[in-house]
Chain A
Amino acid sequence: NAGVMQNPRHLVRRRGQEARLRCSPMKGHSHVYWYRQLPEEGLKFMVYLQKENIIDESGMPKERFSAEFPKEGPSILRIQQVVRGDSAAYFCASSLGAPNTEAFFGQGTRLTVV
C-alpha cells in the first residue's frame, strides 16, 4: 500500500522558469493538501483540493501559483516565473475524509531557485 508519492524529490530551477511539482495521494484518498515549509518555520497551508475541485486556496499566492487535481492523474502544483523566495520544501498530504481527519504526507519536493 504505497503512501503519498511526490516527485521530483529535488528540483532546481533558474529564476523565471516554471516549476511543476507532482503528488499522487494514497490509494482511495480524494482529499489533497499542499504545504510549504521554510527552514525554522512551520508548515504553511497553501491549497486544499478534491478531485477536479479547489476547495480552499486561501494560503496560495494569487500570482504565479496554481494547483489542480484532475480526475485522472496526480495533483500538480505549478509555480510560474520562479523567484529565489520560492525556494522551499513543498509537501503534499492526502486524507480519506475531511481535513479534520488524519492526513498522510509525502516526502516533499525541495525546490531550489538559482
Chain B
Amino acid sequence: EDQVTQSPEALRLQEGESSSLNCSYTVSGLRGLFWYRQDPGKGPEFLFTLYSAGEEKEKERLKATLTKKESFLHITAPKPEDSATYLCAATGGSYIPTFGRGTSLIVHP
C-alpha cells in the first residue's frame, strides 16, 4: 500500500527564518511527487511536480527537491503570507495520488 508521511505536523517560524518540510513516501514505482498549498477553507493550490530523484524546482521562496525516498520543500526567508498547510502527494503504479496529512506552517512577523 502506498504511504506518504509528512513532518513536522506543525511548524512555527519567524519571518525570515528559513526551514524545510519533509515528505517521506513509499510507493511502488514513483510516477510523480506533488506539492500543494492549502489555505483554510480553500482547495489545495498546485505548487510543483517532481518526477525523478535529483530533480529540483523553484518558485519564489519555495524550492522542492526529490530523492528516492523523500522530498523536501525548502522555504527561504519566509513571509507571513507563506502561512498555510503544505500537502505532499505521490503517485505510483496505481496512478492514484496518495496524500500526506500536511504540515501546518505559521510564519510570525
Using CB atoms and an 8 Å cutoff, list the residues of chain A in contact with chain B.
Answer: 4, 6, 33, 35, 40-45, 48, 56, 58-59, 91, 93, 98-108
Q: Is the CB of B95 within 8 A of A99?
A: yes
CB<8 Å pairs between A and B, sample of 16: A4-B43, A35-B99, A40-B101, A41-B101, A42-B4, A42-B87, A42-B101, A43-B44, A45-B96, A48-B96, A56-B94, A100-B91, A102-B46, A103-B97, A107-B42, A108-B43
Q: Closest approach, in angstroms, between the C-beta of A77 and any C-beta of chain B?
A: 15
Q: Any chain A CB within 8 A of the CB of B78?
A: no
Interface size range of chain B in the complex: 20 to 34
Closest to A45 in B: B96
Q: A42-B101, A100-B91 are in contact. Are A58 and B96 (CB under 8 A)?
A: yes
Expressed in whole angstroms, the Cα–Cα distance for A91 and B75 within the complex equals: 27
Closest to B102 in A: A42
Q: Any chain A CB within 8 A of the CB of B24?
A: no
Q: Any chain A CB within 8 A of the CB of B31?
A: yes
Indicate which residue in B32, B36, B97 contacts A45 across the interface (CB closer than 8 Å): B97
Q: Any chain A CB within 8 A of the CB of B58?
A: no
Expressed in whole angstroms, the Cα–Cα distance for A33 and B31 within the complex equals: 17
Expressed in whole angstroms, the Cα–Cα distance for A56 and B98 within the complex equals: 14
Cβ proximity bits B41-53 to A, threshold 8 Å, 1 near / 0 not = 0111110010000
